[in-house]
Amino acid sequence: MNYPLHMAIIPDGCRRWSSEKGSLPWDGHLKGIEVMETVSKWLLSETPVKHLTAYGLSASNLRRPSVQLKALEKLYVKYFTKLSKDEDIHENQVRVGIIGSRDLVPEKVLKATDIAVEATADYDSKFFRVALAYSGRQEIVDAAKKSEGNLSVESISRNLYSDYPDVDLIFRTSECRLSDFMLWGSSYSELYFLDKYWPDVTIDDIKTALEDYDSRQRRHGK
């Protein structure tokens, strides 16, 4: 079976999941994080997928009500603290990384992410990146600034937030759009949209997406 080298996930629909169940918005995010733990653990330990990137929080998400952002802050602190000690992460030598505008990420979350990053810094078997306060457009702008006038495909690629390969497969739930995610690295990505809220996603859904990816002929414009 042909697996993607780099898979990216847009886990959409957590708030709508909560709304339809009559629960608080952050209940959906809590369930969403639990699903991400399950999915990422399976992908990084049971498949050849080497790079996994998850859309945690977009820059535009920061305009949400402060009470929701505070709840998310607590959830992410707990998540990254747990991630830094996760046995599967260490057993599979998964390097954790964060991409996005660090200056927009709450200090408590940054401290927790830095601990996870430092705890896995020596690993290079697998790579798990979480996008926080992230904008694909801003990433390209920032890379162009770092290129110092030497604008080329190669220079932009070298100066992205992280040294990751182009995305082979983007898996998104609930809606059918990229939402400013991985714009530079998705030029030839295969897109898989699932009409389901992220908290309802199962490993079988991921397996189906991977089987669909395997069935496609990738020509890269040729």
Cβ-contact 38, 71 below 8 angstroms: no
Catalytic residue among 12, 86, 168, 205: 12
Q: Which amino acid is at 222?
A: K
Q: What CATH number has the domain bearing residue 180?
A: 3.40.1180.10
pLDDT of residue 207: 99
Catalytic residue among 2, 27, 61, 200: 61
119: its two tokens? 């705890």
Q: Is 92 a catalytic residue?
A: no
Low-confidence ranges of the chain (pLDDT < 50): none
5: its two tokens? 């080298």
Q: Report the alpha-carbon distance of residue 144 to residue 186 in Å, rounded.
A: 17
Q: Report the alpha-carbon distance of residue 50 to residue 127 in Å, rounded.
A: 6
Whether 179 has a binding-site annotation, put simply, is yes
pLDDT of residue 163: 87
Specify burial of residue 13 (Cβ count, 10 A radius: 0-12, 13-18, 19+): buried
Is residue 50 situated within a structural domain? Answer: yes
Whether 187 has a binding-site annotation, put simply, is no
Whether 129 has a binding-site annotation, put simply, is no
Is residue 104 situated within a structural domain? Answer: yes
pLDDT of residue 177: 96
Is residue 221 situated within a structural domain? Answer: no
Is residue 190 situated within a structural domain? Answer: yes
Q: Is 27 a catalytic residue?
A: no
Is residue 1 situated within a structural domain? Answer: no
pLDDT of residue 222: 65
Is residue 198 situated within a structural domain? Answer: yes
Is residue 184 situated within a structural domain? Answer: yes
Is residue 165 situated within a structural domain? Answer: yes
How many CB atoms lie under 10 A from the CB of residue 101? 16
pLDDT of residue 65: 87
93: its two tokens? 């030598």
Cβ-contact 101, 138 below 8 angstroms: yes
What SS3 class is residue 171? strand
Whether 177 has a binding-site annotation, put simply, is yes
pLDDT of residue 211: 98
Whether 12 has a binding-site annotation, put simply, is yes
Domain containing residue 30: 6-215
Whether 29 has a binding-site annotation, put simply, is yes
First-to-last C-alpha distance (Å) of the chain: 22
Whether 190 has a binding-site annotation, put simply, is yes
What is the number of structural domains in the chain? 1
